[in-house]
Structure 1
């Protein structure tokens, strides 16, 4: 049987299906010395969008044919090198759109309606002592700027539609959608009440949400990030939240996951999640199935169901 290297773990169901057609090797149980001895027989890799394939691992696999990524994001995989070497790379778009969009909406509502503050108010007994909690904000009729209007970005826009927003967006290209396009992110932020980040990670978008963009969003603005931690300048974000230059932030991703700066954890105007945008049983099962289906289809026919655009 051909050999597959699994980086970053896999579910028991995934391992069982792969084991029917492959000899499975778990990278967590090996090191570069083992890889040097076994590299030639490995033809496939299964990984995820966070771990990807480190350059030294990819370089050590002379017969690598295919990388199947468990996740829609794949910025931790060097697709330029993969294209150069003729290595097929796949990901799992589509099946997680709605779940990540739901997480974005949840963060928006949690920030606007001060969910964590009011939950603590009840648990602490302050409601009984002091009476009603301070008022919050309405989500109705807000201007929502979406950074990255791909499949998930459009799903977010659809899920937020019942709150009657004005939806605007910034992306690499203008799209055929009923929303207003901005070719300048800072200008869009200045016109928005909420900025939702759902753009791919990577060098092109690294810290694209910088101090200037955050200042444009302003003291009454809310930043939501369900993209990659690298998209937002975390130092600038902390400064903006501490100084009042930015109002609120709902974050599912961070620059150095799982390490989250203490300053962010201490701030009362943040809602923080441990990168769980797609983390439901149903969605993760669908992602796992598609990851393995891409792998098995490539083995069988040399084709795949969901290649990355490159």
Structure 2
């Protein structure tokens, strides 16, 4: 069995027992790459459709990501090709990113995050975890998810419209990128909605770049009328507009979910689906041991931010992204930032043994809970 895989996908040794694993740059995959492949493993940078696979013998496609907008699932189904992805694999990593981003912005603005309201747009695996953690921090949480509202799904919060949430102090986006239907998300935050948020609110986008109209956001920020923004995703990736990057408060190269555990979870979920497809039992994974002890006390939000930054520093990603725009080929530099991303561990990999003020105990319990 020949297994063609994105070289940026960790844990490919799991598949090596089942055939020849051929790692390939995800953006360079083309019909010749998969001409004699049986299995294709990708991440979000590879477009999986008839153009790529029509003449190939590929019968199983796995994407080690939560999003699926890069995959033509209908065509795969019509041509009897199996598909699996990894919903929720990096939910903890994204929640940690959002928490740190929020604390960084609030620290700059001299505000307490716990005193603010936050609108969580998209209540899937990631959105729900973000909502739970922000509530644990003490924030007032409101939620929006039109498809789940239509289905009558109970997510633990009253589901409101996106326009109703524009008066929240913070808006964080966790939706898939969709182009059709009444709940289409491309340019969900268009010029009018961004303008309605105004300069006193905070926007965090960690899902897909085109969910926010980047040109409209840049224009409003240039005029001092747009929300304080943290962008991990960009509308024209791997191209990042320098004018917008200069005006956001923090930015990063689509790595909010790039923890070691998030990537490992993604690969493992696809591997389990692959084994099920083959009709075999997947071996159990090894349990990870703690990395060590963290003894920092948490008495206020500044302490909480300091604790988070023992594992990961968003400002470092911002600096690297800014520097990448000085490269002759900034798009290639963007991809290299992702390909060579430093190992980033999630907080639950450590044992925390500090003391904490009562209001911070719920969020610390969430951060260090196993699993």
TM-score by length of 1: 0.80
Work out which of the residue numbers 16, 30, 51 in structure 2 matches 1:19. 16
Whole-angstrom CA distance in 2 between matches of 1:259 and 1:238: 15
Distance 1:51 1:243 in 2: 36
Give the Å deviation of 1:210.
0.7
Which of residues 294, 299, 307 in structure 1 aligns to 2:273?
A: 294
Q: Structure 1: how far apart are the matches of 2:268 and 2:232?
A: 24
Secondary structure of residue in 2 paired with 1:219:
coil
Residue 157 of structure 1 is matched in structure 2 by 131
State how many pairs are aligned: 273
Aligned residue in 2 for 1:130? none
CA distance in 1, matches of 2:130, 2:31: 45
Higher RCO (Cα < 8 Å, 6 or more apart) = 1
- Residue of structure 2 in register with 1:125 after alignment: none
CA contact (8 A) 1:195 1:217 kept: no
- Are 1:45 and 2:40 matched, yes or no? yes
The residue matched to 1:113 in structure 2 has which SS? helix
- Give the alignment of 1:199-210 within 5 angstroms: 199-203=175-179, 204-210=184-190
Task: Tell me how far 1:290 sits from its aligned partner.
Answer: 2.4
Q: What is aligned with 2:52?
A: 57
Cα shift at 1:6: 1.7
Q: What corresponds to 1:82 in structure 2?
A: 76
Counterpart of 1:144 in 2: which secondary structure?
Answer: strand
- The CA distance in 2 between the partners of 1:52 and 1:110, in whole Å, is 34
Q: Could you tell me which residue of structure 2 aligns to residue 110 of structure 1? A: 104
Match of 1:179 in 2: 157
Task: Give the CA deviation at 1:239.
Answer: 1.2
Gaps of 5+ in 2: 283-371
Residues 285 and 7 of structure 1: CA distance in aligned 2, closer, same or farther (over 3 Å): closer
Contact kept? 2:90, 2:266, Cα under 8 Å: yes
Please list, as runs of the form range in 1=range in 2, the aligned pairs for 1:115-264 lying within 5 A after superposition. Answer: 136-171=110-145, 172-174=147-149, 175-182=153-160, 184-189=161-166, 191-203=167-179, 204-264=184-244
Q: Spell out the pairing of 1:272-291 with structure 2 (5 A cutoff).
A: 272-291=251-270
Contact 1:224–1:250 (8 Å) recurs in 2:
yes
Name the TM-score, length of structure 2 as normaliser: 0.67
Aligned twin of 1:126: none
Deviation (angstroms), 1:194: 0.8
> Is the Cα contact below 8 Å between 1:52 and 1:74 reproduced in 2?
no
Q: CA deviation at 1:32?
A: 5.1
Residue 265 of structure 1 corresponds to which residue in structure 2?
Answer: 245
- State the alpha-carbon separation in 2 of the partners of residues 201 and 177 from structure 1: 21
The Cα of 1:77 is off from its aligned counterpart by 0.6
Q: Aligned equivalents of 2:75 and 2:242: distance in 1?
A: 37
Deviation at 1:285, TM superposition (A): 2.2
> 2:3 maps to which residue?
4
Measured in 1, the distance between the counterparts of 2:29 and 2:253 equals 28
SS in 1 for 2:100: helix
Partner of 1:257, secondary structure, is: coil
